[in-house]
Amino acid sequence: MTKNHIRIKRRSFLVGLGALAGVGACTISSKAKQVNDQTQTTQAQITNVKNQKFSVTGEAPLRDRAAKKGLIFGASARYNNLFQDSKYAARFAQECGVLVPGSELKWNLLRPSLDDFDFSKSDRMAEFARSHKMLFRGHTLVWHAALPKWFENRVNRQNAEQVLVKHIKTVAGHYAGKMHSWDVVNEAIKVADKRSDGLRKSPWLKLLGPDYIEIAFRTAAAADPKALLVYNDHRLEYSKSENEAKRTKVLKLLEGLKSKGVPIHALGMQAHLGVDASKNFNPQKLSDFLKDVASLGLKIMITELDVSEKHDLDIATRDQAIASVYKDFLSVMLDEPAVTTVITWGLSDRYTWLSKTKKRPNIQELRPLPLDAQMQRKLVWNAIAQAFDNAPMRKVEYEGDGAFS
């Protein structure tokens, strides 16, 4: 693609954005018009990207900028990446104040059989966190996915509660006192399953009924009284009808748990965002939802933040649009005092999970995270740094080395 063509496409992409922000359009080529039309419907909520400034003062890493405001910043990581890529590990330790294993604390990687647990990988990751004065976060004790192959044949209605309780007691007990927080239950709401309570028809629901959630939280609290216990879910960030419906069901679930005195401390919002989804970003509705959650006495954690996009435009234009999504989202989230934590799902584009799921023919590499594939800071990094620098101060929840009050 010629430089001129890129310039036209870039300009049309920005003009498309600017037009939406009332900057006024100008003549554009047919190809660029196609891109512009494509973006017209996708960028309604993003303010004028062309004028977005992502300037940041100083070189302080994200973990320090967050901690200065009583916030926590970190990321998920995979065992292999952390221990086979020393440059990545060094940058991870520099930027992150919390480490969450992307998969190593899930059933399929923790339990080779019904009677065995293998903590070798997760223990090494816990030690990495401790030795770099990071908090350690557990994901996830109960999920419908990542179940081991033996699960279906070995777990039934008669033994399901015993299997679940043993799992949580063993795993949460193994890390008792060392875990900042646990995603106790992950993604239990699925409105499309059409239950009045909105619960996902997961193996756990089929085996134990809705009570599996209360059982999980109470067992986790008994196993590790120090850990913050979190209900984690996705698709809560935008305001399409299905998102609003899900917000309603999640709130109902949280209200019900709190009304029964179930030990739950926070809502985890995964925040897998997208440039194209930004047309459904409604700051006021998001802010109202956060207030509703906070009114239950719950904290709110951003647990899996990243931003996907699917335009085959030049990198500079893509980075501007992606960073704008971070900026717009975090400015609403961090205005809510109950929001305590920002965790990205991966730290570097080199290891984003999106490469496996959102592969696109025209794009060499995806760019959803704070560091590029060469571990260099990007506009996303600036957008997050700026959000922390501009965030209101929080009551400090922990003293940096993994211990917390």
How many Å is the Cα radius of gyration of the chain?
21
C-alpha distances out from residue 98 to 47, 128, 397, Å:
31, 11, 13
Angle (CA) 20 54 26, round 5°: 30
Residue 270 touching ligand G3I (CB under 6 A): yes
Per CB under 6 A, 102 contacts ligand G3I: yes
Q: Could you say which of 12, 45, 103, 341 contacts ligand G3I (CB under 6 A)? A: 103
**Dist. CA 295–CA 291, nearest whole Å:** 6
349 lies in the binding site for ligand G3I (CB under 6 A) = no
Sequence-separated (6 or more) residues with CB below 8 Å from residue 290: 300, 332, 333, 336, 338, 339
CA dist 382 and 53 (Å) reads 9
Q: Which residues contact 30 (CB under 8 A, 6 or more apart)?
A: none
Contact status, residue 279 vs residue 41, Cβ threshold 8 Å: yes
Determine the straight-line distance between the first and last CA of the chain, rounded to whole angstroms.
56
* Six token digits for residue 185: 């239950």
Whether 184 and 142 have beta carbons less than 8 Å apart is answered as yes
Position 344: which residue type? T
**Nearest residue to ligand G3I, scored by beta-carbon proximity:** 353
- β-pairing, 72-77 vs 299-308, is unpaired
Asked if omega into 140 is within 30° of 0 (cis), the reply is: yes
Please report how close the Cβ of residue 233 comes to ligand G3I at its closest, in angstroms: 9
Site string for ligand G3I, 125-164 (x = CB under 6 A): --------------------xx------------------
As measured in angstroms, the least distance from the Cβ of 103 to ligand G3I is 4
When the beta carbons of 73 and 79 are compared against ligand G3I, the nearer one is: 79
Taking the complex as a whole, the smallest distance from the CB of residue 231 to ligand G3I amounts, in Å, to 13
Count of residues in contact with ligand G3I, rule CB under 6 A: 11
Q: Give CA torsion, residues 378, 379, 385, 388, to 10 deg.
A: -140
Q: Which residue of the set 95, 187, 214, 237 is catalytic?
A: 187
Beta strand spans in 309-394 (E): 339-344
With respect to ligand G3I, which residue has the nearer C-beta, 36 or 103? 103
| Residue 111 interacting with ligand G3I (CB under 6 A) | no
CB nearer to ligand G3I: give 45 or 352.
Answer: 352
Q: Answer yes or no: are the C-beta atoms of 67 and 400 closer than 8 Å.
A: yes
Catalytic entry in 95, 104, 214, 304: 304
Window 34-73: contact mask with ligand G3I (x via CB under 6 A): ----------------------------------------
Active site residue 187: yes
Given candidates 10, 11, 69, 106, which one binds ligand G3I under the rule CB under 6 A? 106
**353 is a site residue for ligand G3I (CB under 6 A):** yes
Choose one: 3-11, 98-106, 197-205, 238-246; the region binding ligand G3I (CB under 6 A).
98-106
Residue in 9, 4, 81 with CA at minimum distance from that of residue 321: 9
Figure out which of the listed residues 10, 11, 65, 78 binds ligand G3I, where binding follows CB under 6 A. Answer: 78
- The span of 63-71, 101-109, 128-136, 221-229 binding ligand G3I (CB under 6 A) equals 101-109
**Please, what is the minimum distance in Å from the beta carbon of residue 342 to ligand G3I?**
16
> Using CB under 6 A as the criterion, which residues of the chain lie in contact with ligand G3I when the complex forms?
78, 102-103, 106, 145-146, 186, 234, 270, 304, 353
Question: Catalytic residue numbers?
Answer: 187, 304
